[in-house]
Structures are given as structure tokens and as C-alpha cells.
Amino acid sequence: MAFSFEDRARQKAAARARDEDRLARGEISAADLQKENAHFARALSGQNGPFRVGFPVKGKPGKRRYMEFPPNKAPKDGS
């Protein structure tokens, strides 16, 4: 199935309407809703484990170096 921009726009509109309803009913605070919807910030904060970003190595096709956010504090050699 191909990606549909129209379907995605409908999904986002429905999610916004759901969020507005939850706020109006007092089910959730604005601050809590913002935290709930901040996927990238949550990933960078390490709440879901380390967030890894891969970078290609110049002159070595297919090879990547990775950086973790937050940085992994454990030594690589296991000592």
C-alpha cells in the first residue's frame, strides 16, 4: 500500500480533535499532553533507551558510525 498524504492528514486531524476533546473534558493537562506528543524529545531524553543516529563513513560505502543520545556511559571493552 502506497503512502497517502490525504489519509495521513485525516489521521492527524482526528488526533488533534481527540486531544482537544481530552483537554476540554479536563482528562489531561496541556503540559501532560505536550509531553505525551513530544516523541523526538522523549527519544533524546533516553526514556525509551538510547537514541542512535547513524552517519556514513567517507570512502567506505555501506559503513556507518553511530552516535547515541544520551551517550552510553559504559566502556566499550566491558571493563
Mean pLDDT along residues 15-43: 87
High-pLDDT (> 70) share of the chain, % = 73
Provide the pLDDT for residue 15. Answer: 93
Sign of the torsion formed by the C-alpha atoms of 48, 15, 12 and 24: negative
Beta bridge partners of 51: 69
Q: Would you place residue 6 in the very low, low, confident or very high pLDDT band (cuts 50, 70, 90)? A: very high
pTM of structure = 0.50
- For 42, residues 6+ apart whose C-beta sits below 8 A from its C-beta are 35, 48
> Contacts from 3-11 at CB under 8 Å and sequence distance 24+?
none
- Cα–Cα distance for residue pair 28/36, rounded to 1 Å: 10
